[in-house]
Structure 1
Amino acid sequence: MATETRQILAIILNWNDYENTKRCIQSVHNIDSVDTLLVDNNSTNSSSQRIEREFPDISAIHREENGGFAKGMNTGIRYAKKENYEYVWLLNNDVVVTDCNPQQIVEKMRENGAGAASPVVTTPNGSGWFVKGVIDKKRARAIDVVDEVDTNSVVENDYVPFAAALIDVEVFNQVGLLPEKYFLYYEDVEFCSEMTESGFTIITVPRQTVQHVGGQTTNGPILTYYLARNRLLFARDYLGVTGAVMYIDYLNWFFRVFTSAVFSRSPSRVNALIRGTVDGMNKKHNKGPYPDET
């Protein structure tokens, strides 16, 4: 007997964040052709248990460690492959699906032969957060473009952030799973680079919109540490870029962040910036000192 193919599995990670995760699940819960999988990254509170009681029809997997974004998502991707889903929808738990029909995104993916797609992502006040993704490989920078983009047709990208990315499961069969060495941030940049090198197209579908509310990791030392460290890891480990152009650009970024942290009187961000840079130069992978789970 042939195994039934299901269309879309929304994978949502949770780590101690009941409010955002609940709001995200509510926004996708009643969308046709979308099933929801909650992956708990070893929360230390009862957030996942509360969500499962409130949404008894969703599936859930509880991990025994907080291995970061990619490890959590890879747990869901393996589940999607096992259960014969055609597409996975990687959703940050701090995203709210507002004016977005994932079936229409899938149709655009099929029309354009795309392996991955993102809706337009906005902030809560409606301003642009993501429309087009560009990778500057000389500087090892991922750039989110929101202005001067023609959104009357699909937008081709070097990468899309995995805040609300729909990916054809066949991509994982050919490219492999998400790179787990980063723990948080830049796994989307590397994976999309691998996709395009394997011949896949990555698009943004206009007039499909989600809202990025912002959660626990969007500000402060966690963001600062992993952006500082992982940009260096991406440059040196994946791109093999070690030239002056990259380091000069990195130092300019370093001093902008340093100055901002000093003027905002945030010694924790200053410390995270320095530690992230040192750990990136020393090629330290996986989980760093953040978040502190002791």
Structure 2
Amino acid sequence: MTDVATRVTAVIVSFNSASDLATCLASLRAQDLPDDLALRCLVVDNDSTDDSVTVAASILGPDGVIKLSGNAGYAAALNAGAAAAPDADAILILNADTELAPTTVRELAAAATTPGIGIAVPLIIGPGGHVEYTLRRPPTAWRAWIRALTGRSLCSRWPWVDEALTSYADYTAPTRAAWATGAAMYVTRACWGAVGGFDESWFLYSEETDFALRAAALGYALRLAPRAAVRHVGGPGRVEPDLWTLLVINRVIHHRRYAGPLAGTAMYGAMLANEVLRSPFTPAHRRAALELIRGPQRRRPAVIDRLQAHRPMDVAHV
């Protein structure tokens, strides 16, 4: 191990993820790695009530599992995993419901050697086999207002107005982006150390946005590695009311922190308009609209409490 040039630790967050872990870990063990790259796997469990810990330990051994005493959230679990790997040159963040192509780790590691790159992300392949549009421009209130008033289908006709990069060409080249959805992220140790890890106050959602934007401000850009591929089953964040509500609330709170009170108020208006206009269609939009009206900062703790108490799903699925 001492002769290895680059040591990568994959940190997989689990929360009632027993049905997904075997596939994820098998794909990591099957990685085609060059001689100068070593891979270690750690599963950080957010106090699961299923067999997640047993499944992980049976594959990795007891030293490959960190069981937290409670569900502290996704960001806190990632930080715990990184802290347990102080000698790692890079941290590979993975949701439990991911499956890596055999050359994914080597492609991500190669992408991260480009000067100025601190975060490398793969192509994310959805359950239907399609490439998901995971790259993002910086969040702005005006883009959120356009999405709220026109909907996703109309935004797709004018790609430049949407926060998501939706051109096929963006996903066939080593495209740089402001941030990317966080199912899989390769972070260099230098970037991780400069940023100081993930902000644990987010619990779930917006932690990857916050991390990438802070990294960029410190000179560490995010880049797509187009030849790295990760299949992502994905979770029902868009249909489970409290998960969707937390995503919306965190987006509002993050923009206030990131862009200031005036821009934060404009983002609040855009997100509220989006949820109210779509509230007739799903319970998730109705719940989000109601909690936004009550006040995102004030209602956020209650939403998190419900997620922790009722465990509607594996909250590591984002």
TM-score normalised by structure 2 residue count: 0.80
Q: What residue number does 1:51 align with?
A: 56
Q: Is the 8 A contact 2:45 2:52 kept in 1?
A: no
| 2:309 aligned counterpart, secondary structure | coil
Aligned to 2:200: 180
Q: How does 1:21-40 map to 2 (within 5 A)?
A: 21-31=21-31, 32=33, 33-40=38-45
Query: Match for residue 241 of structure 2?
Result: 221
Deviations 1:127-148 (A, max 9, x none): 2213522122345869332334
How far off is 1:50 after superposition? 2.9
More deviation, 84-93/274-283? 274-283
Give the superposition deviation at 1:30.
2.8
Aligned length: 286
- Aligned mate of 2:174, from 139, 146, 154: 154
How far off is 1:22 after superposition?
2.1
Greater Cα shift, 239-248 or 97-106: 239-248
Amino acid at match of 2:39: V
Distance in 2 between residues matched to 1:137 and 1:118, nearest whole Å: 22
2:90 maps to 87
Cα distance, 1:280 vs structure 2 = 1.6
Letter in 1 for 2:273: N
- In structure 2, the partner of 1:253 is 274
The equivalent residue for 1:102 is: 105
Match of 1:41 among 37, 46, 51: 46
Instruction: Tell me the residue number matched to 1:62.
Output: 67
TM-score of the superposed pair, with normalisation by structure 1: 0.86
Could you say if the C-alpha distance between residues 5 and 148 of structure 1 is closer, same or farther in structure 2, counting changes exceeding 3 Å? closer
Higher strand share goes to which structure? 1
Tell me the distance in 2 between the aligned counterparts of 1:22 and 1:190.
30
* Equivalent-residue separation in structure 2 for 1:281 and 1:189 (angstroms): 18
The amino acid across from 1:147 in the alignment is S
Please report how far the alpha carbon of residue 120 of structure 1 lies from its aligned counterpart in structure 2 after TM superposition: 0.9
Q: 2: distance between equivalents of 1:285 and 1:100?
A: 41
Alpha-carbon deviation of 1:191? 1.0
Structure 2 unaligned spans of 5+: 145-161, 311-318
Distance 2:289 2:273 in 1: 13
Q: CA deviation at 1:221?
A: 1.8
Q: Is the 8 A contact 1:105 1:119 kept in 2?
A: yes
Structure 2 letter corresponding to 1:288: I
Aligned pair in 2 of structure 1 residues 150, 143: CA closer, same or farther (>3 Å)? closer
| Counterpart-to-counterpart distance in 2, 1:57 and 1:113 | 37
Partners of 1:216 and 1:246 lie apart in 2 by 24
Q: Secondary structure at the match of 2:48?
A: coil
1:122 is matched with 125
1:200 aligns with 2:205: no
Deviates more, 1:145-154 or 1:105-114: 145-154
Displacement after TM superposition at 1:284 (Å): 4.2
For residue 271 of structure 1, what is the aligned residue in structure 2? 287
SS in 2 for 1:129: coil
Partner of 1:242: 262
1:183-207 CA distance string (max 9 Å, x none): 1100110111101111111100112
- Residues 92-114 of structure 1 show CA distances to partners (whole Å, capped at 9, x for unaligned) of 11111135421222112212430
Provide the residue aligned with 2:209 in structure 1: 189
Identity of aligned residues (%): 21
Alignment check: 8 A CA contact 1:41 1:72 kept:
yes
Q: 1:248 to 1:272 in 2, by over 3 A?
A: closer
Counterpart in the other structure of 1:165: 185
Give the drift of 1:227.
Answer: 1.2
Higher helix share: 2
Shift of 1:229: 1.1
Q: Which residue in the other structure is 1:13 paired with?
A: 13
Alignment-mate amino acid for residue 176 of structure 1: G
The answer (yes or no) to whether the contact 2:275–2:285 under 8 Å persists in 1 is no
